[in-house]
Structure 1
């Protein structure tokens, strides 16, 4: 199976804003390399969205850091990188239809 990374220009802009806001905080707290975490987090969010769990990035972009962090870390921990699908029953708070 090929992992898809399909997203609209607006979704990509929202993801970039989300990642640009939360990843520097993660890297400061963990000492991880900023560039690597920026890229992998962008890819994780788009892969999740394009492979079976559509995300509401506009709503996520407006959320507080705690709730964004929940989804970013949950996706990182539950994303199957071979299929692009979330596993082990994880549902992001900003999945379309969740928590609206």
Structure 2
């Protein structure tokens, strides 16, 4: 079920590193090094595979951007909010 703008805004209050709208939410992380960035991507990949919900990931040296949207639903769902929270766990 797609989340409306108000529900996304409320969810993002608990995920202050994230921003977005009804199309997608995103977060950029600056890792300590390129190997640390790759390790983070690997950890997120494992969590995404377990949840069967995969973010779009852009890696540029130490900067990693995660974008979440439930493509089959056409926007942001509770699956995206849950994966954002999991990514936050993995970045701390």
TM-score bin (small chain): 0.3 to 0.5
Higher helix share: 1
Higher strand share: 2
